[in-house]
Amino acid sequence: MIRKTSDHAEYVHEPQFHIIFSTHQREPWLGKELRNELWAYMGGTIRALKGVALVVNGWEDHVHLLVGLRPDHRISDVVRELKKASTVHVQELDRKSGFRWQEGYYAFTVSSDDIPRVRSYIAGQEEHHAHGKTPSFLDELKIFLQENQVDFDPKYLE
């Protein structure tokens, strides 16, 4: 959406997306120190792409992002660049690691009314997983897809 303010056009970052993806084979690569560094880096990558990172968080084997993108962004391009840049960053931090992300991702549009709820959900990822409220990324993903009434074949989640 473009909104006219005074003498110039300004981009309003809509739509917002909840993006989710996992480490390769859901391996628990992302320890606490690395997570903190990586989430900040990923937020910076979104900003460098002229998007808005509303919140980035996750657990040892996956990441959730709530982002606002410009109308000229393609979600597939943003996710590809985000994965590429963050993989290089992790490998630079730990040259011995074979870190990589899974192929693919999940992306859902988020209405303006739902932003506070989704932001809170993403911000609570560590507590959510550390205290066993959801035992695995796969379980969380299945619940998330069901709650959002997304038809899926479980064999494609394995």
Helix spans in the chain (H):
32-48, 75-93, 115-123, 125-130, 137-147
Question: Using CA atoms, how far apart are residues 8 and 10, in angstroms rounded to an integer?
Answer: 6
Angle at 131 between CA 34 and CA 111, to 5 degrees: 75
155 occurs within a structural domain: no
Domain that holds residue 80: 13-113
The pLDDT of residue 15: 86
How high does pLDDT run on average in the chain?
87
Number of structural domains in the chain: 1
25 occurs within a structural domain: yes
95 occurs within a structural domain: yes
HEC letters along 113-148: HHHHHHHHHHHCHHHHHHCCCCCCHHHHHHHHHHHC
7 occurs within a structural domain: no
pLDDT in tens, 94-147: 876 789 999 999 999 999 999 999 999 999 988 877 776 666 788 878 887 888
pTM: 0.84
3 occurs within a structural domain: no
What the block records as the tokens of 58 is: 């996750």
DSSP 102: P
